[in-house]
Amino acid sequence: MSRNGRLAIVLGLFVVAVGLVVAGVAYLITPGIPGGVVDFTHAQASGQPVDLTVQTVGSIGEGPHPTWVSFLVKDPAGKWIHSTYWELPANRVINVTILQYDTGSPLRNQLWGQVEGTFGHSATLNGSTFTAYNANAGNGVGHTFTVPALGIDVPLVGVNSNSTNICGAAPCGTNFDHNTITFSFKTGKAGSYHWQCFVPCGLGWLYGNGGPMSTQGFMGGYLDVVS
């Protein structure tokens, strides 16, 4: 075999090796979506509002991190799914109901106590309309539902930490103490919009920002808005 032929083989093997390394690194830094993507694009008739029901829990109760806080979503068939990746139709009204089962605390930044980006810049808490929540009073805020690219922020008020009827593991039934928060917003053009809880709730991690706060499928996810 000629020198050029051997060089071509070596270069070919090098390119393959580099490709495998890149693929391996990509797999490690972008793991599979926990719970998969839950599709709401066909949940209602064309043009009609989409109902999105979510719950927040103090303990997921399963998997490799059973004690971590998490979000779950109810799929169109009515089953609770441990997924934070939801596919929504573009330019559609989304009616959100969040069942908040976790306890709360004062916010480090009261900005996250403001309701923003929803219809009327308001939400309802157990049936009563509010535009802001004073996290230094009452039971504090457990989590937020925040979509920075859409300007959406809704504080999720905590349940009383002294309650003897707190849900121990997900999915939680409505017989446990909880707060019901509702609000509506409209999706815009197609795109992938990251959403996140902005209350540091990674218990046992530096400043509360590790663990479930920085792991896919727990305290953050994506709204995949499709045409």
Q: What angle do CA 115, 122, 76 make, to 5 degrees?
A: 95
pLDDT tens readout for residues 73-96: 999 999 999 999 999 999 999 999
Looking at residue 81, its pLDDT comes to 97
Nearest to 149 by CA among 106, 177, 190, 201: 190
Looking at residue 216, its pLDDT comes to 87
Is the pLDDT at 145 greater than 80? The verdict is yes
Average pLDDT over every residue of 140-169: 96
pLDDT band at residue 23, thresholds of 50, 70 and 90? very low
Is the pLDDT at 219 greater than 90? The verdict is yes
Q: What angle do CA 39, 51, 78 make, to 5 degrees?
A: 65
CA distance 36 to 207: 29
Q: What are phi and psi of 89, to 5 degrees?
A: -75, 145
Strands 220-226 vs 191-196: parallel, antiparallel or unpaired: antiparallel
Query: Taking all residues of the chain, what is their mean pLDDT, rounded to a whole number?
Result: 87
Domain coordinates of the chain in residue numbers?
1-30, 35-226
Q: Higher confidence at residue 11 or residue 69?
A: 69
DSSP state of 58: S
Task: Report CA 147 to chain centroid distance, whole Å.
Answer: 9
Looking at residue 5, its pLDDT comes to 44
Indicate the fold that domain 35-226 takes in CATH: Immunoglobulin-like (2.60.40)
Average pLDDT over every residue of 14-38: 48
Q: What angle do CA 6, 12, 15 make, to 5 degrees?
A: 145
Percentage of residues of the chain with pLDDT beyond 90: 75
Looking at residue 32, its pLDDT comes to 63
